[in-house]
């Protein structure tokens, strides 16, 4: 089920990761084709500011993935609502303050970004200022759309999420074309088009949060500053990641200006825009890994974490190879979308994009593992990979190689930096394990005493009534072999059989989709824990009995018997799955 769930989440996560990138890509194409090289340079110089706002949104969104993943994994509804409330109010407050500060210091900020002083012979300054002005109006929707993504993933609202991103893309394209051919609003109009498209995406996505079955509730009474700190601490590594990215873009812009001039900066704007779209595949793998790791880590599910590490590694490498091949083959027509026919800027961009493509596989590996380590609370590893991958090693190699190879050396800095990061964090993993190993066990970096011992844990997948009966028999034998008395072993087996057969009879038949059930039994010293996870329609057995009380002793007898045997029953629907935990 983990592999299937990972792939389902990956599609929507990649699409949602493109929320910011698609608008930037569309703007970049329109600016490059219709507004000229100076406008493209202005767009490139404005990028660090856009990335800074993206960093703040990513900080909150990542904090949501970690904290909400843990509260959902623990079945704590009040803590989940508290996380939702704090993240929404925090995003609203930061966006208002951020917009005000940018407008107050717009002139000095434009110069600081590298656009130079305002003057009649410096058109780049005015173009940069105009683009920032148009774009910054959309900061509230920009931030809210980012934090909306993890909540919709957790709730399983993937179709709505894809619809929001699709609508945003279409809106941006239409408004950009209107700006170029009708309103002639220049770079200001391009920024404003992105702003309006973000509001469209947010409006579509926000509809879920007003539904009666929404699993999140805005409850201002739950707001706590201590939770703000936890949210910031949980998302801290992504802030480090984004700040490093901002610093890298700023540094490379300056280095390119010194080595090759404004043509190189314009080429880098195109390369980074296409590159960001390519990196969405790796970041999508990482985002899914983080969310699932947080949930499985809270459940102390060692075997699921091992499977997650294998699945995320395989998907990251395969996607990286596929995207690399596409970029190598399509580099020239892709650049032509932005810059038209052959030109000095276009030649630089094609060469740079092809070299950048070779960094995609190691970048996918780095993104997967830094997010995974964040999900299991190994924050230092996450921050180390972020700093090395997004600033230190790329900047170091770009600077050193530019001394000998000029602008080509700067492009090679990405390949060398990403590859060196993989080697560095792998060396730390081997040092931690005191042995060289490429296994999922080694790279998972779990403590030896994490979770239940394998000999006390039984797991299986059920797809039919026969599977359910077989699993019940195996569980009874498994329990008896581990010292459980005959009566208790029989009750555990009966409990699993009743729950799974009920799901098969009433859940599998609701549609024609393929379904399966994952069962996990943990025999702890003082209790027996059964977790049943299925991908059928939403069904909460803990509240069903309360809503369907009957005087008939035969009504819902199986379900009542199961609940009668349990000390504690917890249900939550997350990631589009039913998760029922029974403590006997």
- Tell me the whole-structure pTM to 2 decimals: 0.71
Average pLDDT for residues 353-362, to the nearest whole number?
A: 93
Task: Please answer whether residues 260 and 406 qualify as being in contact, where contact means their C-beta atoms are separated by less than 8 angstroms.
Answer: yes
- DSSP codes of every residue in 408-440: HHHHHHHHHHHHHHHHHHHHHHHHHHTS---SH
CB-facing half-sphere around the CA of 225: CA atoms within 13 A = 0
**Dist CA 415 CA 389 (whole Å):** 10
Share of the chain above pLDDT 70, in %: 94
Cα gap 136→553, rounded to integer Å: 64
State yes or no: pLDDT of 474 exceeds 90: yes
Helix (H, G, I), strand (E, B), or coil: what is residue 334? Answer: helix
Average pLDDT estimate for 336-348: 74
Say which DSSP state 512 is in.
S
Confidence of residue 419 (pLDDT cuts 50, 70, 90): very high
Q: Please, which pLDDT band fits residue 78 given cuts at 50, 70 and 90?
A: confident
Q: What is the mean pLDDT of residues 499-522?
A: 86
Tell me the average pLDDT of the chain: 84
Q: What pLDDT sits at residue 383? A: 87
Q: Is the pLDDT of residue 58 over 70?
A: yes
- 420 touches 388 (CB < 8 A): yes
CB 305 within 8 A of CB 296: yes
Domain ranges of the chain: 20-223, 256-451, 454-583
The structural architecture, per CATH, of the domain 454-583 is 2-Layer Sandwich (3.30)
8 A C-beta contact, residue 221 and residue 161: no
Q: In the sheet that 528-534 helps form, which strands lie side by side, from edge to edge?
A: 457-462, 517-523, 528-534, 577-583, 568-574
C-alpha R_g of the chain = 26
Most confidently predicted of 5-14, 227-236, 300-309, 446-455: 300-309
Alpha-carbon distance of 457 to 229, in angstroms, equals 36
Residue 448: what pLDDT? 79
Instruction: Tell me if 473 sits within 8 A of 497, measured CB to CB.
Output: no
Token pair listed for 369: 């593992």
Query: 214-271, pLDDT tens digit by residue?
Result: 888 889 888 888 888 888 777 777 777 777 887 888 888 888 888 888 788 888 888 8
Q: What pLDDT score was predicted for residue 548?
A: 45
Of the pLDDT bands very low, low, confident and very high (cuts 50, 70, 90), residue 477 is very high
Q: Answer yes or no: are the C-beta atoms of 497 and 530 closer than 8 Å.
A: no
Q: Which helix (H) or strand (E) holds 461?
A: strand 457-462
Where does 186-224 have alpha helices with state H? 186-206
What digits encode the pLDDT tens for the residues 192-221? 988 898 899 889 988 888 888 788 888 988
Q: How confident is the model at residue 342 (pLDDT cuts 50, 70, 90)?
A: low
pLDDT at 546 over 60: no
Which of 25 and 568 is assigned the larger pLDDT? Answer: 568
**Res. 555: pLDDT tops 60:** no
Give the pLDDT confidence score for residue 547 in this predicted structure. Answer: 46
Query: Does the structure show a pLDDT above 90 at 536?
Result: no
Burial class (CB in 10 A: 0-12, 13-18, 19+), 400: middle
């Amino acid at each position: 089920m983990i592999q299937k769930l990972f792939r389902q989440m990956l599609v929507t996560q990649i699409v949602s990761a493109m929320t910011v990138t698609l608008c930037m890509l569309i703007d970049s194409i329109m600016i490059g084709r219709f507004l000229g090289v100076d406008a493209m340079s202005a767009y490139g110089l404005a990028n660090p500011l856009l990335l800074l706002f993206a960093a703040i949104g990513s900080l909150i969104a990542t904090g949501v993935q970690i904290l909400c993943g843990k509260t959902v994994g623990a079945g704590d509804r009040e803590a989940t609502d508290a996380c939702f409330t704090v993240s929404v109010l925090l995003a609203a407050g930061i966006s208002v303050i951020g917009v005000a500060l940018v407008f107050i210091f717009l002139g000095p900020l434009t110069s600081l970004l590298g656009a130079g002083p305002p003057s009649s012979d410096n058109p780049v300054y005015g173009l940069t200022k105009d683009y920032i002005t148009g774009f910054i109006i959309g900061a509230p929707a920009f931030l809210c759309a980012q934090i909306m993504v993890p909540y919709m993933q957790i709730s399983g609202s993937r179709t709505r999420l894809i619809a929001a991103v699709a609508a945003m893309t279409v809106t941006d394209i239409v408004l950009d074309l209107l700006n170029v051919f009708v309103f002639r609003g220049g770079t200001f109009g391009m920024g404003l088009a992105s702003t309006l498209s973000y509001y469209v995406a947010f409006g579509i996505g926000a509809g879920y949060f007003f539904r009666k079955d929404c699993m999140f509730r805005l409850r201002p009474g739950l707001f706590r500053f201590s939770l703000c700190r936890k949210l910031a601490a949980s998302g801290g590594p992504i802030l480090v990641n984004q700040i490093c990215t901002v610093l890298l873009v700023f540094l490379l812009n300056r280095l390119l200006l010194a080595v090759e001039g404004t043509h190189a900066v314009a080429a880098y704007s195109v390369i980074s825009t296409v590159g960001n779209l390519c990196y969405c595949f790796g970041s999508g793998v990482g985002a899914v890994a983080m969310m699932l790791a947080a949930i499985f880590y809270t459940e102390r599910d060692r075997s699921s974490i091992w499977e997650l590490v294998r699945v995320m590694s395989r998907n990251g490498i395969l996607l990286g190879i596929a995207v690399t091949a596409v970029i190598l083959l399509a580099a020239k027509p892709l650049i032509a979308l932005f810059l038209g026919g052959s030109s000095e800027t276009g030649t630089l961009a094609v060469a740079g994009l092809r070299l950048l493509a070779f960094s995609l596989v190691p970048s996918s590996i780095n993104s997967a593992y830094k997010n995974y380590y964040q999900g299991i609370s190994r924050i230092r590893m996450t921050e180390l990979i972020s700093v090395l991958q997004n600033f230190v090693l790329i900047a170091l190699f770009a600077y050193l190689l530019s001394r000998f190879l000029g602008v080509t050396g700067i492009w090679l800095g990405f390949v060398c930096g990403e590859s060196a990061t993989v080697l560095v964090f792998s060396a730390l993993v081997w040092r931690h394990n005191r042995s060289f190993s490429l296994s999922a066990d080694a790279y998972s970096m779990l403590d030896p005493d994490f979770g239940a011992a394998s000999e006390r844990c039984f797991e299986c997948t059920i797809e039919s009534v026969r599977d359910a009966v077989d699993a019940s028999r195996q569980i009874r034998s498994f329990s008896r072999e581990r010292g459980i008395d005959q009566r208790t072993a029989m009750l555990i087996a009966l409990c699993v059989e009743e729950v799974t057969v009920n799901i098969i009879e009433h859940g599998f038949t609701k549609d024609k989709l393929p379904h399966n059930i994952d069962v996990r039994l943990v025999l702890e010293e003082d209790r027996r824990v059964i977790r049943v996870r299925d991908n059928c329609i939403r069904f909460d057995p803990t509240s069903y009995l309360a809503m369907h009380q009957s005087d008939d002793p035969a009504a819902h007898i199986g379900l009542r018997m199961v609940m009668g045997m349990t000390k504690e029953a917890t249900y939550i629907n997350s990631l589009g799955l039913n998760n029922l935990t029974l403590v006997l």
